[in-house]
Structure 1
Amino acid sequence: MPNSSHETRVLSDAHVSDFISNGFVRIDDAFPAALAEAARTILWRDMGLAPDDPAAWTKPVIRLGMYSAAPFVEAANTPTLVSAYDRLVGHGRWLPLMAMGTFPVRFPSSEPPGDDGWHVDMSFGDEPDFMEWRANVMSKGRALLMLFLFSDVGKNDAPTRIRKGSHMDVARMLAPEGADGLTLRELVERPPATETREEVLSVGEAGTVYLCHPFLVHAAQPHRGTEPRFLAQPPLLPRGALQLDRADGAYAPVEIAIRQALGNGE
């Protein structure tokens, strides 16, 4: 598995600038379509469903657990993605992905999915109630939020909705709370500071990956298309805590975005 990308730089300075200001960057062909197809075969099997039997697709969403089989791990650690992780988080500052995380498989349905509220993914806690999990301004436990498209996703296929630039608002919400941060319940009860942000849809072909700032506000939505949507949303874990006050000034873009939100210009 590759763990260095110094020889190949996938993201340009313009891409990095967009990540800092918008909170995400889209990478096409981040992993091969053949790996996506192999992964879907495993997921169909585990759901007990088939792509040619839509009559059996009776639920709007089915959630599947962690996957560490070869197609998933290889998709997460391509040279393209390793290069991008290094560029956004810093070489040696993240842990290789050994599992793909949760798959919310969404099906065409007129039934509300029940999980389509705007939110930020929490990164630490041990409460059984996930609404009590937390995030803090150092993004303890998470270096990136990532959206891996394992099927083609168009505008009607329940693409994840993203509030462009909302990571800046969230950083400012978290900053006064120190190391404890806020719970998911507390964050969703905050004034709707991100409602005026431009909404972007995470569309693309299978093999597309959206690398997002961990504070980016996003939401699911109902599926209005015809084919199920396969997407994974693993975190990229930090090797150590993010630093907002580095003596050497060697800040990674994920840290620069937080610093700029808090008025520390770069």
Structure 2
Amino acid sequence: MTDTQNPTVGLSPAEIDHFIQRGFVRINRAFPEDIAEEARAILWRDMGLDASDPANWTRPVIRLGHYGQPPFRQAANTPLLHRAFDQLAGPDCWIPPMVLGTFPVRFPSSEDPGDTGWHIDVSFGTEHPDFMEWRANVYSRGRALLMLFLFSDVGPDDAPTRLFAGSHRRVARLLEPAEEQGLTLRELVEGGFGGTLGLEEVLATGMAGTVYLCHPFLVHAASLHRGRAPRFLAQPPLLWRGGPNEESEVGRRYPVKEAVRQALMR
């Protein structure tokens, strides 16, 4: 796992291979902790809740919209992360994130939030009103990376995102026959995401400022919050630069596409 503020170093060869084989890489101190603190203050304000008053934390999860204020943009665009984006998706192949995706803020609760099922983040066909009809294809149209930004400390009991290591390879093989059209989320679920039996389940834990860069086909899920403090996490995509007709070729020599190529050879 990368743990450095020297952007010229970037990911090591071992980390890049880990991404290709297991579908994710963890970057410690990807953005400063004080930026995470500034962002949390904005999120607390928008929820209308008090960080020092747990009596008002009555819901297991509150979903907040996209945020583009300075601390969020700064968190997503550090030199270290830009270097990692270049290494994984290819230089000039991605669009700098100007907003972060939805924030599912999870609170300590014995109540099941009802959203902890395994899935991948499908990336096109989102005009359909039924999200189960949204789609993904083998070229990963619309998404270069799934990213998990930890804006609070996340331990094993703090509702960490669960990752099925290596599942991106099985999803790639499931998607291949559908070519450009791809499969809906419903079809992917019915296909068992290509099979996850025997895969290792990894918890996306870390200190505030940690970022997980994940292959867009990585199967993942939320978990229940058994800890004490709310968990703040953003899960934005890294978008490809270029339109849908170009995305089969964008970044094809880099790890996001190389992982798929290797998976389809077996």
The TM-score, its normalising length taken from structure 1, stands at 0.93
CA distances 1:191-225 after superposition (whole Å, capped 9, x unpaired): 36013210000000000000000000000011000
Specify the SS of the correspondent of 1:146: strand
Q: Could you tell me which residue of structure 1 aligns to residue 3 of structure 2?
A: none
Q: Could you tell me which residue of structure 1 aligns to residue 122 of structure 2?
A: 122
Structure 2: distance between partners of 1:121 and 1:216 = 8
Structure 2: distance between partners of 1:168 and 1:244 = 19
Between the two proteins, the alignment pairs up a number of residues equal to: 256
- 1:248-259 alignment to 2 at 5 Å? 251-259=253-261
Contact 2:93 2:250 in 1 (8 A): no
Structure 1: distance between partners of 2:17 and 2:39 = 32
**Counterpart check, 1:217 vs 2:208:** no
CA shift at 1:244, angstroms? Answer: 6.1
Q: Could you tell me which residue of structure 1 aligns to residue 229 of structure 2?
A: 227
Contact 1:9 1:84 in 2 (8 A): no
Structure 1: distance between partners of 2:236 and 2:192 = 28
Contact 1:244 1:259 in 2 (8 A): no
Structure 2: distance between partners of 1:76 and 1:145 = 13
Partner of residue 243 from structure 1, selected from 248, 252, 255: 248
Structure 2: distance between partners of 1:245 and 1:222 = 37
**Counterpart check, 1:95 vs 2:95:** yes
**Counterpart check, 1:168 vs 2:173:** no
Q: Could you tell me which residue of structure 2 aligns to residue 4 of structure 1?
A: none
Specify the SS of the correspondent of 1:203: coil
CA shift at 1:9, angstroms? Answer: 3.1
Contact 2:68 2:100 in 1 (8 A): yes
Q: Could you tell me which residue of structure 2 aligns to residue 147 of structure 1?
A: 148
**What runs of 5+ residues in structure 1 fail to find an aligned partner?**
1-6
- 1:181-200 alignment to 2 at 5 Å? 181-191=182-192, 193-200=195-202
Contact 2:240 2:250 in 1 (8 A): no
Structure 2: distance between partners of 1:203 and 1:148 = 11
**Counterpart check, 1:47 vs 2:47:** yes
Partner letter of residue 199 of structure 1? E
Structure 2: distance between partners of 1:103 and 1:67 = 9
Specify the SS of the correspondent of 2:192: coil
Partner letter of residue 115 of structure 2? D
Change (3 A) 1:255 1:98: same
CA shift at 1:242, angstroms? Answer: 3.9
**What runs of 5+ residues in structure 2 fail to find an aligned partner?**
1-6
Structure 1: distance between partners of 2:250 and 2:136 = 19
Specify the SS of the correspondent of 1:237: strand
Structure 2: distance between partners of 1:53 and 1:98 = 32
Partner letter of residue 243 of structure 1? S
Change (3 A) 1:177 1:150: same
RMSD: 1.6
CA shift at 1:130, angstroms? Answer: 1.0
Specify the SS of the correspondent of 1:111: coil
Partner letter of residue 253 of structure 2? Y
**Counterpart check, 1:133 vs 2:134:** yes
Partner letter of residue 174 of structure 2? M
Structure 2: distance between partners of 1:94 and 1:67 = 19
Contact 2:63 2:103 in 1 (8 A): yes
Structure 2: distance between partners of 1:123 and 1:24 = 18
Structure 2: distance between partners of 1:17 and 1:239 = 24
Partner letter of residue 187 of structure 2? E
Q: Could you tell me which residue of structure 2 aligns to residue 77 of structure 1?
A: 77
Specify the SS of the correspondent of 2:25: strand
Structure 1 runs (4+) greater than 6 angstroms displaced: none
Structure 2: distance between partners of 1:242 and 1:206 = 33
